Structure 1
Amino acid sequence: MFTGLSAFPLTPLRDGAVDEAAFARLLERLAAAGVDGICALGSTGNYAYLDLAERKRVARLAVRHAGHVPVMVGIGALRTRDVLELADDAQRAGARAVLLSPMSYQKLSDEEVFGLYQTVTQALSVPLVVYDNPGTTHFEFSDALHGRIAQLPQVASIKIPPVSPDPASAAARIDRLRALVPAHVSIGISGDAVAATALLAGCTVWYSVIGGLFPVTALEITRAAQSADAALAHRLSGRLQPLWALFRQHGSLRVVATAAELLGHAPAPCLPPPLRALQGEDRQRLAVLLAQLQLD
């Protein structure tokens, strides 16, 4: 599950509560498409907006409806106590891995972040993915810190932020990190717009937002890159440039949530307030784009 396509589905809400039926349908679509892994309760899964009881329920629903596909569960929380509780629950639910971001309100130091991962990995019996997402956590990992954390037991992968769209620059960035982490720790890309470039440059897994809603489309890009067919991978990703532009303008969560609403995969509204899906002209623009692209 640390190679190929790891799909990050929404956790849709209805009237303020998790829409379990809609979530189950999303999971079943991913399993039917044959994704390599599923991550419940990533940023696309609205983990930061759910309480512990809701997150525990979602973890069980994910494992139940993922079929044969291994499930990873996000366990990030403000307090280490809650992270440990979520980690224990995810393992009991049958998760095959956990995803941990260094959530904070006060800005964390490197030593505080290292201490978090050290404490959590000591309590785990399943692999852990380090979630490096400065756009949401406002914490920036240095390569040196990644190297330290990657030495801890159970660390299996690092989910890095978007790389440069320039292939040479992307390869150089991945090579710098690769030199500091053990060979068994995979390097995975987030930032869907540069996923093809990153996979061709040395990342082995795509932690994908669109994979959670359009798994067939994301798998086509992933398999082309895995086959080293750079022309095909870039062509498939390139046709989605209007979608990537909306991601940059509004954030991938809002765009994917709106797409799910427009296509009937989630109720409207499906995001936890104060978050809002696209409205007005932006919503209509996305509806036209989806009709043109015919994503699956």
Structure 2
Amino acid sequence: MVFKGLIGFPITPIKESKVDLPILDKIREHLDQSGLDAIGVLGSTGSFAYLDENERERVMACWSKASTPWIAGVSATTTGEAIRQCKAANYHGAQGVIANAFSYVPLKENELQRYFLEIAEHSPLPLCVYDNPVNTGQTLSFTLLETLASHPNIRAIKAFAQSNNEALHSKLSALNWQAGYAVDANCCEAMIKGGKAWFSTLAGTMPELLVPIMNAIKQTEYDKARESHQALSQLFELMREHSGFRLMHALANHKGWQCELPSPLILPQIADLEKVLGS
């Protein structure tokens, strides 16, 4: 099952409004040697919403060279495009796909159900449903999640971890899928308390910071994991201030992976970044 463990979501580097494939190669090589359990390609951090279908397939073709298992974001404003993305991901060697409720017009409950179930029905790969109200403006009801979890090809849920995640995990893990979590600041404790996957924004750019924490959790060295996670609190605060999307691009540039944010977004100038990273 690919929806398990620490899954890092890398940026898709953009230069002059186009995907920079040489930089993407460098990112792939770095993550491929990092010890991640899986890689999440073309997620929100990977600029999927700013790329057309051809560009997204070029990105998948690049990741097809990875030895680490990877999943592909297939969210789209139409179900047909999302299904085409599923088939492209399968062709290029992904082991799963992930989708959120991406739509210009807010979707009603029956439309959300239709969107996810049609993707699941036509995808040759297992689907993870991403409940992402911050970016989509839509929250998936628990009644809908119960329906989605009953589909045999919907194998996982990605939800926002809470500071106290036990009640949420109890509900989600009772359904017929793997319950995994986003929000790096809360995920260490969520994993200690039973989460199956840590869907990480930070690990897609700086896996070296989170792989040791995930390894400590796997070895039930929980105090060690918590201590290492707490040491990253300033980074988590910067993510809250600037958004993970903006900060990961700033960190990528700091690492020498020169890239731009898609216009009209502006790369943040973070004066204390080197101090926060200890470099």
Q: Do Structure 1 and Structure 2 share a fold, with TM-score over 0.5?
A: yes
Distance 2:143 2:194 in 1: 19
Give a deviation string over 1:52-88, Cα, whole Å, max 9, x none: 1100110111122x12x11111110111121111111
Q: Paired residue for 1:172, among 167, 174, 180?
A: 167
Report how far residue 216 of structure 1 moved.
2.1
Shift of 1:230: 2.1
For 1:277 and 1:285, the matched residues in 2 are separated by: 15
Unmatched 5+ stretches in structure 2? none
| 1:35 equivalent in alignment to 2:36 | yes
Q: TM-score, normalised by structure 2?
A: 0.96
Query: Which residue of structure 2 lines up, in the alignment, with residue 72 of structure 1?
Result: 71
* Contact 1:199/1:226, CA 8 A, preserved across alignment: no
Quote the residue 1:273 is aligned against: 263
Normalising by structure 1, what TM-score? 0.91
In structure 2, what is the equivalent of residue 56 of structure 1? Answer: 57
In structure 1, how many angstroms separate the alpha carbons of the residues matched to 2:75 and 2:57? 13
Q: Which amino acid aligns with 2:196?
A: T
Q: Deviation digits for residues 233-273 of structure 1, max 9, x if unmatched?
A: 11111001111111111101111110111220x214x2111
Could you tell me which runs of 5 or more consecutive residues in structure 1 were left unpaired when the two chains were aligned. Answer: none
- RMSD over equivalenced CA pairs, Å: 1.2
Does residue 1:97 correspond to 2:96, yes or no? yes
Is 2:9 aligned against 1:8?
yes
**Structure 1, residues 33-52: CA drift from partner, whole Å, max 9, x if none?**
12111111000100000011
Identity %: 30
2:219 matched residue in structure 1: 227
SS of the residue 2:128 aligns to:
strand
How many Å separate the matches in 1 of 2:275 and 2:253?
A: 14
Amino acid at match of 1:250: H
Take 1:153 and 1:48, find their aligned partners in 2: how far apart are those partners? 27
Query: In structure 2, what is the Cα distance between the partners aligned to 1:224 and 1:141?
Result: 32
Which residue number corresponds to residue 134 of structure 2?
135
The letter for the 2-side match of 1:126 is L
* Number of residues of Structure 1 aligned to a counterpart in Structure 2: 278
1:14, CA displacement in angstroms? 1.0
- Whether 1:206 and 2:198 are equivalent positions in the alignment is yes
* 1:259–1:287 contact (8 Å) kept in structure 2: no
* 1:224 maps to amino acid: A
Residue 194 of structure 1: which of 186, 189, 195 is its match? 186
* Aligned-partner Cα distance in 2 for 1:247–1:121: 32
**Aligned equivalents of 1:49, 1:219: Cα separation in 2:** 29
- 2:82 alignment partner in structure 1: 83
User: Could you say which structure has the higher helix fraction?
Assistant: 1
